[in-house]
Amino acid sequence: MTPSNSQLATIKTVLFALCLIPAFLLWRSFEMDSLGANPIEAITRNTGEWTLRFLLITLCVTPLRKYSGWHWVVRLRRMLGLFAFAYGAAHLSTYLWLDQFFDWQAIAKDILKRPFITVGFAALVLMTPLALTSSNFAIRKLGGRRWQSLHRAIYPIAMLGCIHFWWLVKKDVTEPLIYSVILAVLLGLRAWWRELERRKQLAGSYLQQPRFEGKVIKIFAK
Amino acid sequence: QSLGPLIKSPLSIGESQTPYKAVTTYNNFYELGTDKEDPAQNTHRLKPAPWTLRIEGLVNKPQTIGIEQLLKLVPLEERIYRMRCVEGWSMVIPWVGIPLASLLKLADPQGSAKYVEFISHYDKATMTRGVLDWPYNEGLRLDEARNPLTILAVGLYGEVLPVQNGAPVRLVVPWKYGFKGAKSLVAIRLLEKQPSTAWMKAGPSEYGFYANVNPEVDHPRWSQATERRIGEFTKRKTLMFNGYADQVASMYSGMDLRRYF
């Protein structure tokens, strides 16, 4: 099934509204004063978890396309990735503003001295160029190949996100473990596809295809 | 359930008290769950009555006392104390309790006793498994245990201690980080050697035996220079020994507090 352009526009609109639900629920809890005794901590935690969830959802797009054959889902990926960035930006702003109140000295010390903040901050810094190049213009400007290798940074970003969560919990690592296992599966799938592709190349199946003129195209690490 | 008339203590502070709701819904009590809201939701997992507390180890009069007895041992006092969590938040809580020193006196510690270990209740059938090395335990040096500020709390806000706050009896040591205040105590043991504690076993580089509130000694994951008083928007500066330096600093004179963190 491939939706028409107008159907896809509808799907995008619905998805956009769905992606806003966590923000809406958080805002409503804040208005109703039901965020518990430490609302700032609750907001920080909530926006952080949604950042990680959106990163994982974004990473689900390619496997979904591959296994369902719905090639059009890839056209939803940009929005999902940008929502990951938006929740991440909200997470960082909560920390900078509500938690630290722009005490830059304390913030700099935190980033340098607390490993969990170092990796979380690094993840957000790495997300920024990805968000900035999420436009057709940027893809044209960079060229598809360069754009793609830049956007593969989502793999280390998601790993840093999981490490950030893992290192911040005091003792009970159940939740970060769940996110890490999902990420491991999503990244493991990609590694497996590469392995299949490598075997296919080694088996020479491409050689029979004249348009490659007998050359093997390397697609793994340079 | 009211605990009746209470003696006001000169050791209480005058700062505004954290609302009852926050004190009883924002708790670290891992036996009842690891999220702050969990303990208040899982109170059915711990039955605070009937309850007995053993005093054992290097004492001349080892004994087991019931909670009713404990409530009548000495007149109950209200102690309004700051409570500073190692995670960087704080509260002001009107505890009801008795000085730990009066209970220790009853058991008559032997001359060789140098440390006091506190052991919490743990029921593996109903409580969280596998987070810490259960049962939860904590420890103090004997002089710290005898300090007038150290109490066994049996209530807060004039009422019987809620389960999520460590019913029916818990330790409160206001100049130390909150995790030192072992909850739902079943035994107090006098020892010659310093005991290891639940958090020391879980993270020896992060949690020390002393755990005195100290804005100059950072936790590896949190700066301890400031804290958020629950209910306040901006952070406040953390005070040395949580503001109790006058009463406790002398116990640590000559000690390197970075080393003995």
A38 touches chain B (CB under 8 A): yes
Q: Which residues of B touch A171 (CB under 8 A)?
A: 30, 34, 131-132, 202-203
**Rg, chain A, Cα only:** 20
pLDDT tens track for A159-187: 999 999 999 998 889 999 999 999 999 99
Asked, for residue A215, whether it belongs to a domain, the answer is no
Q: Which residues of A touch B230 (CB under 8 A)?
A: 37-38
Asked, for residue A139, whether it belongs to a domain, the answer is yes
CA distance B156 to chain A (A): 17
Is pLDDT at A216 greater than 60 in this prediction? Answer: no
Residue A206: burial class (beta carbons within 10 Å; 0-12, 13-18, 19+): middle
Asked, for residue A192, whether it belongs to a domain, the answer is yes
Q: Which residues of A touch B132 (CB under 8 A)?
A: 171
CA dist A104 and B26 (Å) reads 29
Of A42-51, A73-82, A204-213, B124-133, the range with the lowest mean pLDDT is: A204-213
Asked, for residue A211, whether it belongs to a domain, the answer is no
pLDDT tens track for A47-85: 999 999 999 999 999 999 999 999 999 999 999 999 999
Task: Note the pTM of the prediction, 2 decimals.
Answer: 0.87
Q: What is the arithmetic mean of pLDDT over B246-253? A: 97
With vertex at residue A142, the alpha carbon angle to CA A138 and CA A147, rounded to the nearest 5 degrees, is 85
CA distance B26 to chain A (A): 6
pLDDT band, very low/low/confident/very high, at A206 (cuts 50, 70, 90): low
CA distance B236 to chain A (A): 11
Q: What is the arithmetic mean of pLDDT over A186-190? A: 97
CB contact under 8 A, A37 and B203: no
All structural domains of chain B, each given as residue ranges with its CATH number in brackets, are 7-252 (3.90.420.10)
Is pLDDT at B22 greater than 50 in this prediction? Answer: yes
CB contact under 8 A, A38 and B36: yes
CA dist B161 and B29 (Å) reads 14
Q: Which site among B201, B223, B236, B237 would you substitute to test the A interface, given the most A Cβ atoms closer than 10 Å to its Cβ?
A: B223
ipTM exceeding cut-off 0.85 for this assembly? no
Is pLDDT at A218 greater than 80 in this prediction? Answer: no
Nearest chain B residue to A37 by CA distance is B22
CA dist A171 and B206 (Å) reads 11
B118 CB-near residues (< 8 Å, 6+ apart): B137, B138, B139, B140, B171, B182, B185, B187, B188, B189
A34 touches chain B (CB under 8 A): no
Q: Tell me what pLDDT residue A222 has.
A: 41
Is pLDDT at A28 greater than 60 in this prediction? Answer: yes
Q: What residues of B are in the A interface, CB distance below 8 Å? A: 21-22, 25-26, 30, 34, 36-37, 87, 89, 131-132, 202-203, 218, 220-223, 225-226, 228, 230-231, 233-235
Q: Tell me what pLDDT residue B48 has.
A: 95
Asked, for residue A218, whether it belongs to a domain, the answer is no
Q: What is the arithmetic mean of pLDDT over B81-103? A: 97
Q: Which residues of B touch A106 (CB under 8 A)?
A: 223, 225-226
Q: What is the arithmetic mean of pLDDT over B220-235? A: 90
CB contact under 8 A, B202 and A171: yes
User: 3-class DSSP state for residue A143?
Assistant: coil
A145 touches chain B (CB under 8 A): no
A154 CB-near residues (< 8 Å, 6+ apart): A55, A58, A59, A81, A130
Share of chain B above pLDDT 90, in %: 94
Asked, for residue A216, whether it belongs to a domain, the answer is no
CB contact under 8 A, B221 and A168: yes
Q: Which site among A171, A174, A177 would you substitute to test the B interface, given the most B Cβ atoms closer than 10 Å to its Cβ?
A: A171
- Which residue, chain included where needed, has tokens 């303990």? B39
User: Residue B85, annotated ligand binder?
Assistant: yes
What is the residue range of A83's domain?
Answer: 5-206
Q: Tell me what pLDDT residue B130 has.
A: 84
Tally C-beta pairs within 8 A across A and B: 50
Q: What is the arithmetic mean of pLDDT over B157-172? A: 98
User: Residue B181, annotated ligand binder?
Assistant: yes
Count of domains forming chain A: 1
Q: Which residues of B touch A113 (CB under 8 A)?
A: 218, 223
pLDDT tens track for A90-148: 999 999 998 998 899 989 998 998 999 999 999 999 999 999 999 999 999 999 899 99
B104 CB-near residues (< 8 Å, 6+ apart): B55, B116, B145, B146, B188, B190
User: Residue B183, annotated ligand binder?
Assistant: yes
Nearest to A171 among B21, B131, B230 (CB): B131
